[in-house]
Structure 1
């Protein structure tokens, strides 16, 4: 069976504050560990009232401390926002605290708006040096060599596994060139999924970390006892996408009975294009959708987003996705 993992949004909802969102993420990880999920990642987003994972390394530590075997990491750290040295220190420390369980997924986008980017003290052109920054970060995580004047303590020698994340062909080509695993964000940008995977696999060069291509596919999956109930739960995510187009990012909203009454035809078209790869339905529907996606993409692993408002219903969704009744 294709390994399953989780992208945890750490979603602040109308019924849950930031502390509740962080504790729900930790609770989900503990359950997911028992259901057989391989890893749980959180993403770096800034200045978003509905997302509590801005201090990504701190959130990873919170989740890892509440679990014992599941891998925990970033999906991802937006490297242009940071000096590679600082990220090496942070994730090297996590690797010392939770050996063999930390992943470091890296993205090139800022994960925020231009105003917040200035508040982070990072120039917009920082993204242009992303490939060099990845190599610098990798070097700081490698064993220190004699005469090395700058070491990332206690990170040196931890060799935290790096992943390249992307939603375009750029990330696919970089991951292939560096011989790193690649995760494609088809849960919100599905258009280039197949072409990016083809580029990655055909251009892959083996490395010390990885001897063959390894591709992860991000996908929205919402499961419930019936197709109708799953479709109703999915309206929470559909409203969130509509709100993005309105410039009104906010808290997660409870599901509604009629999504057509919420969004305009233009908002619907835009949202459904971004959500085109979503799988929503009963356990049988979800299983068939997952099998079809893996057959089409050859995915080595699925990274699942299940953006459900109620925490108990979200746990149930992940339980059903894992085939645990």
Structure 2
């Protein structure tokens, strides 16, 4: 039976891999700007690199500095995040930028424990920022790193379990070197993203396979442990589409969702109770399902045929979603200037083109 790498040997193999094969030319690399590093770390949470790159570049073009972000409006920030998903990340990013501007005089804090107090930043993200921006010997443990460590050391169980997570953090801390920490951390993320993938990992190209317990035990697919399965819930909603042709310009009424919860802070179609709608006033459009990470949203769009516009919308709005409501009318061109959930954007794009 193979023995695991010693922490020193493990770190050296990883660093050697970085110098030979590591990714070094992503838009947020080759910089020690904590703002850009922080932004990339937040965008990369639960999102692939190829998806993040264009969002990151547009975001930096519009908000080139942390102060620019802090001074931006909520709608500006959400519009630049629209389509990237997990919108609480954007809200926390904006909130943290304002805290740094006011509490830290616009200077990004350097201590990991202080960084971790900012909204939306956990232990691993704080460690990544501290190592990449400030050269500190701090460990990280994102999803990619968890997978590499769980397989190399045969750490059993779902990483969401407290005991399993504790064991992974202990191993991450033990293996993180005092020198070249940034290279090591980047390579660990690269290994998980490129080599030690969830399915069909390329073990033959992995610099750690010689002492990887899961590889030698032919049990790669067992690590990390899977989250206990639960029945996938679903929710059914009715969206009211109210289009006005005043002044020969089609506009749609949208409501701004509360700052917390699904699509918080974005502009969306109001949710209504169908039983309160008069059949002669509505047209049922094609229903569809939008999949979130943790449940399915079944949407039935209803196109309003009545001129009794705002009053009817407010009368039938779902109170848990629409109070307090901020409503406004938007033309197709204006929709590009506000934050919209992806399914709302796709639905309205088709309708307004034909309006």
Q: Same fold (TM over 0.5)?
A: no
TM-score, normalising length: structure 2:
0.23
Kindly name which structure, 1 or 2, has the bigger radius of gyration based on alpha carbons.
2
